[in-house]
Structure 1
Amino acid sequence: MTERPAAQALHRNEFIAFVAALMAVNALGVDLMLPALADIGRDLAVTAANHRQWVITAYMLGFGTGQLVYGPLADRFGRKPILIVSLIGFVGASIFAASSATFGALLGARVLQGLMSASTRVLAVAIVRDCFSGRQMARTLSVAQMIFFLVPILAPTLGQGLLLFGPWRFIFYALGAFAALVLAYVLTRLPETLPVARRVPISIASLANGYRVTLTNRYSAGYAVAASLTFGGIIAFVSLAQQIFVEEFGAGKHFTLLFALCAFSMGCASFANSRLVERLGTRLISQSAVLALIALSVGHLLVIVAGLESLPTYILFQALSMTCIGLCGSNFGAMAMEPVGHIAGAASSIQGFITSVGAVVVGSAIGQSYNGTTVPLAIGYLCIGLAVLGVVYVVEGGKLFQPRMATA
């Protein structure tokens, strides 16, 4: 398929780099403060270690809820003005978080940050969908996500570096500064990708139609649910990373490196997907990854039950599991969007809400069950794999490993 005119306004590499940077606003919002969670807990009098996880989940809750708003607004007013306003809001929320005097105020700031950064997810997908479709869209998203996944690898190290120069509040100032840089690019370089002729007035009827079309199409709704389950695995890992590496395995000095090893596997998965998806198709790759995740989870549980769990075994199983999740993510997103591309903004909002809020529920359930061992995470991944397999089986009408359409 050929690129649409909006994509031709920027060089392809520049376009992909911008989409990756836009996604990185959200990724940094999650991962940059991981090394500071213990400091935040001590400074703001958080007594229960598991409660520190709410710094992550509060952000994700706002991120998921906010996505319902941006799609219809972007379909009505265009992508660029909505992106400008929300990035300004993210900068303000970051300053609010940096100045928080209580844990409650910080959580409120994190929800607000999530609400603002929700636009980055909705509009990144919608902008790509404006410019590409089918396997080319999946490939573009995979390349962008490959770059994007470098952020979780580097973010904890960057956060640790910031802590060398000041308190945890510096991290939130840094988040605001990065968002301001992305805002400057949007103002000076990004063209509007949604032509006026394709804009949809905001009305109860149009919103209801967007919800109806997105939620009643089994591929759109089903793959959004599947994406939420796998994304929940990422939320669980991120929420528990510091506790597992530092408290269970006593590897605090190497936390950022060990976290990076696991996150790097997702980047490798996205790179492989970008090379293979046009040849093998989204279904073959994602369904194979789900089966592999189930097998890995069973193997991990057997290792734990046998009393053989150690830092190396945990890293091995976690990295391989994250590889499987990485192979699912962009493919599930592309398959969910494919039948509703004519309402990309609204569909991206609804699918994003399902994916993010569902992931918060799944990730929080696993994270809050943490008992000082890796058992809850291994069981959680097994449940995620089985649930995703069931959803995909229903969505595909009981026919796995078969392409549904030439473009998917």
Structure 2
Amino acid sequence: MFRENKNSQRVAELEQELATLKRALAEKEARHEADSETASLSTLSAVPTHWRYVEKNAETITGALFEPMSFAYNAGGLMDGTQSELAELHSLLAQITASIRQNQALVGALEEHTRAIQQFVENIQKIASQSRMLSLNAAIEAARVGRQGKSFAVVADEIGNLSQSAGRFADDIANQLGEIDGDTRQTRDFIDGLGSQIERIEQLSTSVTESSSQTASQTKDLQKAAYSAMAAGHIIGVISWACDFYARLALAVEAPEIFEAPEIERDGNYLGQWLFHEQDNEFQFREQPGFKDVENAYLSLLACAEDALRQCNAGKIEVARKQIKAANEQVSRIARGMTAVEQYLNRCTRRALDGSAKELD
């Protein structure tokens, strides 16, 4: 009788302790939600939004660079009236430079968002670890009580399962953040390179203004620099679209109740339109292996996305995450293929213009 009363007293103490721990956890979760969860969800939402801004700016830059190209093609030693054209060119280059700086700021904001989400994930991992400790302690105490502690053992198991799920979720988000961070750094490198090319165009256009005696060779240099910058602007647009698509896909799989999945339509986006509907084919670049690899990687990316969303809807989250990882590999393939296309076009342009410059001399 005494032992039974003692066990009952211990159960009551455990119940009170567990209730206290539950309240503490609830308060901690409430504070966490108020301080960071809402902000982190909005931060997650901002990632694809920023990619779309980068993509849009890259399209604007690429289109604007047709004017320096046109000027360089038409200048060809005819200096009459070119002073006003050069003034317009300088104004245009200033606008392009402003767009590049805006893209650099956007990529910087993406990096800040990534760091904020990483902090959010670390907080989830800490809570998961603390919850695991709580479940272990509760299980130990339940075992000590014996038969009367069975209900607490069940609660302890549930808390343990919940903490493991939260930990896995945090780890998966952390892995995807690593992929997004790599994409962001790569895009920053492209944008910085484009900025250097625009500076080169500005220097060349200034040189054309100041000295008419070497106009033929200088306009060829201007032409090459403008074409190279235009190609770089296009590659940033393509990669930004791919990164935006991947980010929205990953978020839709991890939190489908919050984030909307991207549309999966072969011809209904920036990259698909360029691959299958545009007619540009300077130096037959569409026959090159790099372009073919971009096309194949793009189709594989869409296939991975379709399967990831299908598996997610079927409740097979782990399978969906594998497809997300495969999708990121296709984004990397697109970036490598576009870089190969850019390098090929730059080589061909240099050869063509160097040859025509010799003819002019």
TM-score by length of 2: 0.31
Structure with higher helix content: 2
After TM superposition, the score normalised by the length of structure 1 is: 0.29
More relative contact order in 1 or in 2 (CA 8 Å, sep 6+)?
Answer: 1
